[in-house]
Amino acid sequence: MKHIAQVLLAAFKAHLIATFQYRVQEGMQMIGLLVESLIYLVVWTTVAKARGGEVGGFSTDEIAGYFIAWMFVRNITTGWSPYAMEWRIRRGDFNSLLLRPVHPIFADTSEMLASKAVAMITVIPAMIALALVFKPRFELVPWSLVALIPALILAFVLRYVLMYVLALTAFWTTRLGGLFELWYGVEFFFSGRVAPLTVLPEWAQQVANLLPFKWMFYFPLELLLGRSQPDEMLFGFAMQILWLTVMVLLIRFVWRRATRRYAAVGG
């Protein structure tokens, strides 16, 4: 445990240094995040206005709040892109990682966290700028903000592990574009990324409750906006823990098979 903590810390430091080298790339990612949130914000504000100032239980200024807070939660819950993993496997970079006496996921996690930490330097000013322009309204509920911290951590870990499992399929086939696109499409719809889930028809909201995506994004976002009730919060944590258990079992299963397959076919 101490060993893993040391690796996490050392990898975080190393990747923090590396991330600062990628100023342009970080900047572009930040602009991408800003543009995406801005598009949804404008679209849904227009819809709300056309429908008399309300959509899916959100007023026009609450919609603005949703998509500004969205940037924060989105930055926290990004994970390893399967394409990046595929590239590493194809280039043979995975060989040296497999020969280290510690699982590669730990150094990878630190790399991700370092990139998030650096991104926050620009995300937060961008959120402030948007807030000044769109004058959002949201309620800061103290208990909800306290619950936000574990909810965000769980959301990050959950999505991170899920993306990692998905990325590991690259060990079987190195042409996964189609699968990822389908996956992202489903996630887009059911996570609350394109629209607050309350906008969806009742049946879709029920489906969203069962799938993992809501718990990786919409749930912490609602806590940040102070829109959750205590019973909803408890249900949310229960779902996060349930899905996390499933994911951890899944990654162990997949990892063992993936590396065995890798070892069988050659790197």
**Binding site residues, other proteins, CB under 8 A:** 3, 6-7, 9-11, 13-15, 17-18, 21-22, 91-93, 95-96, 98-102, 107, 260, 262-267
96/201 with CB nearer other proteins = 96
State the minimum distance, in angstroms, from the CB of residue 204 to other proteins: 35
* Cα gap 160→149, rounded to integer Å: 16
Compare residues 104 and 226 and give the one whose CB is closer to other proteins: 104
Interstrand relation of 58-59 and 54-55 (parallel, antiparallel or unpaired): antiparallel
Please identify, using beta-carbon distances, which residue of 84 and 149 lies nearer to other proteins: 84
CB 3, min distance to other proteins, A: 6
Which tokens belong to 264? 């069988």
Q: Which CB, 15 or 214, lies closer to other proteins? A: 15
Closer Cβ to other proteins, 45 or 110, answer by number: 110
Q: How far is the CB of 15 from other proteins (least distance, A)?
A: 7
In this complex, which beta carbon is closest to other proteins, that of residue 19 or of residue 77?
A: 19
Nearest distance in Å: CB 263, other proteins: 4
Contact 129, 37 (CB under 8 A): no
Cβ 8 to other proteins shortest distance, Å: 9
Give the nearer residue to other proteins in terms of CB position, either 47 or 102.
102
Q: How far is the CB of 87 from other proteins (least distance, A)?
A: 12
Q: 222 φ, ψ to 5°?
A: -65, -35
If DSSP states are collapsed to H, E and C, what string results for the chain? Answer: CHHHHHHHHHHHHHHHHHHHHCHHHHHHHHHHHHHHHHHHHHHHHHHHHHCCCEECCEEHHHHHHHHHHHHHHHHHCCCCCHHHHHHHHHHCCHHHHHCCCCCHHHHHHHHHHHHHHHHHHHHHHHHHHHHHHHCCCCCCCHHHHHHHHHHHHHHHHHHHHHHHHHHHHHHCCCCCHHHHHHHHHHHHHHHCCCCCHHHCCHHHHHHHHHCCHHHHCHHHHHHHCCCCCHHHHHHHHHHHHHHHHHHHHHHHHHHHHHHHHHHHHCC
Q: In the complex, what is the shortest distance from the CB of residue 181 to other proteins, in angstroms, rounded to a whole number?
A: 20
Closest CA to 64 of 138, 125, 122: 138
